[in-house]
Amino acid sequence: MKIFVVGATGRIGRLLVEQLRQAGHEVFAGSRQASAGDDHAVAFDLHDQPQTLAKALRGMAAVYFVAGSRGRDLLQTDLNGAVNVMKAAELAGVKRFIQLSSAYDLQPERWSEGYLKGLTDYNIAKYFADDWLIHRTDLDYTILQPGVLTEAPATGLVSLDEETLGENPLADVATLLADLVDAPQTSRKVIMMKSGKTPIATALAAI
């Protein structure tokens, strides 16, 4: 299927684009500066209006939002940028929308736990972006909430237990994200992940 990845040059985005293409999808890689040498690279600026962004999304079967400013542009990228892409997807007639988020971002009462103490502004931005996606759109969404992202080697094993925080190799997050587009049972669900003992495909199938 035709898939658009917003934030395709980021740490997760690069891995996600690669995995989706390996699975046979036609993937358009959106970022502020389109990558040279990629025929499907698309210049895509989250500061643009939804009407402008929608032009790049027409004809897509699914949109991934995995962009992030890493704290440098939280309001315009992580919050309003995400909302702009949601609006653009609806204008373009795209229904499937998969969003990368953060552990417990929809549960403010848990923002004081562990490493989350230092991410309050980020979690506020993700909270309002996710809340908009759930309550202010008609998109067929899935929100993925990983814990700490690490450079550790992929394990292919996860836990979708929501009780405690955990860590996730970047590649495992990309794998789970890539699998979501073919997992209709994850529609309109928020999924929290961390490293565990269950193969990714098995964990998704159990949802």
- For 24-50, what is each residue's pLDDT tens digit? 999 999 998 777 678 899 999 999 999
pLDDT for residue 36? 63
pLDDT for residue 137? 98
Q: Which of 112, 111, 129 is nearest to 67 (CA)?
A: 129
Cα angle: 27, vertex 29, 54; to 5 degrees:
95
Task: Identify the H or E element spanning 2.
Answer: strand 2-6
- What's the pTM? 0.96
Residue extents of the structural domains in the chain:
2-205
3-state secondary structure at position 158: strand
Q: Tokens for 179, please give them.
A: 């699998």
pLDDT for residue 69? 85
Instruction: Return the CATH architecture of domain 2-205.
Output: 3-Layer(aba) Sandwich (3.40)
pLDDT for residue 39? 84
Q: How far is Cα 66 from Cα 20, in angstroms, rounded to an integer? A: 14
pLDDT for residue 19? 97
Residue 169 predicted with pLDDT over 80: yes
**Could you say which DSSP state residue 198 is in?**
E
Cα angle: 130, vertex 133, 136; to 5 degrees:
125
pLDDT for residue 177? 98
Q: What is the pLDDT of residues 71-118, one digit of tens each?
A: 889 999 999 999 999 999 999 999 999 999 999 999 999 999 999 999
Regarding predicted confidence, which is higher, 69 or 190? Answer: 190
pLDDT for residue 33? 78
pLDDT for residue 98? 98
Contacts of 27 (CB under 8 A, 6+ apart): 3, 4, 5, 17, 20, 21, 40
Q: How far is Cα 96 from Cα 139, in angstroms, rounded to an integer? A: 6
Q: Are 60 and 90 in contact (CB under 8 A)?
A: no
